[in-house]
Amino acid sequence: MKVFKLIFKNILRHKLRTILTIIGIAVAVIAFGILRTVYTAWNVGVDAAAADRLITRQAISFIFPLPYSYKEKIAALPGVSNLSFATWFGGVYKDKSQFFARMAVDDETFFEVYPEFSLSDDEKAAFQKERNSCVVGESIAKQYNFKIGDLVTLEGDIYPGTWEFVIRGIYKPKFENTDATQMLFHWTYLDERMKAESPGREGNVGWYIVKVEDPLQSAEISTKIDALFKNSLAETKTETERAFTQGFISSTGAIITAMNILSFVIVGIIMLVLGNTMIMSARERTREYAVFKTLGFSAFHLTGLILGESLLISALGGGLGIFLTYPIINGFAQVIPKGFFPVFQVEPITLILAISAALIIGVAAAIFPIQRALTTKIVDGFRFVG
């Protein structure tokens, strides 16, 4: 009990320094939390990828289309349980800052291969009946206050012209990491307009989504699909949905990796801040430690005294930082366009890393002061003038 009283008295001895150290640790933890959240949010699509889905795209690049005629050949392969396709539409809604994914899909099969997009039977039926209808994700609907029956107008870029769609469904995410920020409409509507307005661009899709019966056969089925179209004008590359998603975001991979590394550099900064405080405290209390030794305090007591103070300061700063991280992240989530980060929230791994870092730093920052206190002779401690 005496040691605990001394710990509390020691951290209050220099109130301003202690408060500034706690605030510094809290700010660093908040920065760590934000950077890690950006990193995890950017990779949420990879984590949400299904093991039983393959993506078949153009071998040269994702931006080149594939013939619609490939559909029946892929679907006929053994081991393929279902097949759908999608085309990236792009376009502009209001202005270029209002970004969210807009895709033309096969209305009959898309929601079968993506069961995590929950859509009621009535909404699905209404969507399939109307050629210029669309379905939007729940997050997008909330952001723009979309309702069933609303008209959405897009200005095309990849596919020029003014495009008008009627919302006939709002899908809900089945899982926490399911993307609820997409707008989906009929591929046939896009294809018919291309045939009338841009002859030569019809009859193409962006990529095929292949659902397999057994995920363990994914590699074998991928090889068979690509063999079907070898030496054709549009050769294919088939890969798991996870690999496809990773490739899709690889253009910004260096930036995201740098942010992840920077988040851990911040952990080092926290250690320097707390370590500096503890070293100053240990230097100031050199004579006190000599007195404690004279009074019979053991190495265990001195270690507990110094380690306890370091851990307490680290815990207070880390706790404050974690407490403030959640409202700050929620604030960012409200202002960031949903399409950039479909899921923007503090993940459990970020919380675990932040707590672990605070504890490890509390221990690490106390190592040198403990070593100094234990190795300094009593007579040298009384002679010390600091």
pLDDT in tens, 210-252: 999 998 899 999 999 999 999 888 999 999 888 777 766 655 5
Classify 147 as helix, strand or coil.
coil
CB 358 within 8 A of CB 29: yes
* pLDDT for position 45: 57
The token pair that represents 302 in the structure block: 């001195």
Euclidean distance between CA atoms 228 and 210, whole angstroms: 14
Can you count the helices (H) and strands (E) in the chain?
15, 12
Taking Cα atoms as reference points, which of 59, 53, 57, 115 lies closest to residue 80? 53
Euclidean distance between CA atoms 329 and 33, whole angstroms: 8
**Average pLDDT for the chain:** 84
Phi and psi torsions of 183, nearest 5°:
-120, 125
For residue 258, the tally of other CB atoms under 10 A from its CB is: 12
3-state helix, strand, coil in the chain (%, to 5): 55, 15, 25
Euclidean distance between CA atoms 218 and 228, whole angstroms: 16
* pLDDT for position 273: 75
Report the chain's terminal Cα–Cα distance, integer Å. 29
CB 172 within 8 A of CB 138: yes
Which residue has 């952001």 as its token pair? Answer: 143
| Bridge partners for 272 per DSSP | none
The token pair that represents 153 in the structure block: 């107008």
359 pLDDT higher than 70: yes
376 pLDDT higher than 80: no
CB 244 within 8 A of CB 55: yes
Taking CA atoms, 162 is separated from 155, 158, 167, 189, 293, in Å, by 5, 12, 16, 13, 83
CB 96 within 8 A of CB 90: no
The token pair that represents 177 in the structure block: 């990491």
pLDDT in tens, 179-220: 888 999 999 999 999 998 888 889 999 999 999 999 889 999
Q: Provide the 8-state DSSP code for 178.
A: S
pLDDT in tens, 54-103: 999 999 887 899 999 999 999 999 999 999 999 999 889 888 778 888 99
Question: What type of residue sits at position 40?
Answer: T
For residue 32, the tally of other CB atoms under 10 A from its CB is: 27
Taking CA atoms, 291 is separated from 23, 198, 294, in Å, by 32, 90, 5
6 pLDDT higher than 70: yes
What does the pLDDT average to over 108-136?
93
